[in-house]
Amino acid sequence: MQSPSKEILQSWHDDANNWKWGIFYFNPKDKRIFIDKPNPDFGTTLNFANPKSYLVVAMALLFFGFILYMITKKAS
């Protein structure tokens, strides 16, 4: 399978229909996980149409949950 051209990727990024509430990117055609936000000064977001993005969210939650657990365990 061939990767989309930069022009296609940019057109997907600029399409308002791929942005839910202006902050959540959802495009099943785009296989990337991390996408620049419409304003690059605000960083990146996840492509929530890609199932791997939910794995990234779960891993982040587990990591921060583990940190909180270790902090509260040490305090008691």
Q: Which two tokens stand for residue 18?
A: 């791929």
Distance separating the N- and C-terminal Cα atoms of the chain:
54
Residue 73: how many CA atoms within 13 Å on its side-chain side? 6
Q: Give the model's pLDDT for residue 75.
A: 67
How far apart are alpha carbons 63 and 65 in whole angstroms? 5
Q: Which two tokens stand for residue 46?
A: 């996840």
Q: Give the model's pLDDT for residue 76.
A: 62
How far apart are alpha carbons 6 and 13 in whole angstroms? 10
* pLDDT tops 80 at residue 13: yes
pTM: 0.79
pLDDT digits (tens, 9 = 90+) for 16-61: 999 999 889 999 999 999 999 988 898 999 999 999 999 999 999 9
